[in-house]
A = this chain, B = another copy of it.
Amino acid sequence: MWSRPQKAPRQTLTLERIVTEAVALLDEEGVGRLTMRRLAERLDTGSTTLYWHVKTKEDVLDLALDAVFCEVPLPEEADAWDTPVRELMTGWRAALLRHPWSATILDRPLMGPNALQRTESLYETLTTAGFPTPKTAAHALSNYVTGSVIAQVTWQSTDRFVRDRAAQYPSLAEHGLDHDWDTTFAQGLDYLLIGMAQAREGGF
Contacts and interface: CB of A to CB of B under 8 A. Distances in A.
A103 B111 CA distance: 18
Given A143-B144, A194-B194, A169 B116 contact: yes
A184 B153 contact: no
A171 B120 CA distance: 7
Interface stretch (A12-20, A48-56, A71-79, A134-142): A134-142
A154 B108 contact: yes
Interface stretch (A1-9, A39-47, A195-203): A195-203
B135 A184 contact: yes
A174 interface: yes
Given A123-B175, A139-B184, A175-B119, A155 B109 contact: yes
Number of copies: 2
Given A107-B154, A147-B144, A147-B146, A135 B175 contact: yes
A147 to B, nearest CB: 3
Interface residues of A, number: 54
Majority-rule SS of A interface residues: helix
Nearest to A191: B195
Interface string A137-170: 1111011111110110111011001100100010
A179 B133 CA distance: 12
Nearest to A101: B107
A156 to B, nearest CB: 10
Contact of A107 (B104, B136, B142, B194): B104
A144 to B, nearest CB: 5
Contacts of A109: 154-155, 157-158, 161-162
A107 to B, nearest CB: 4
A103 to B, nearest CB: 6
A188 interface: yes
A165 B144 CA distance: 26
Contacts of A104: 107
A158 B111 contact: yes
Contacts of A111: 158, 161-162, 165, 172
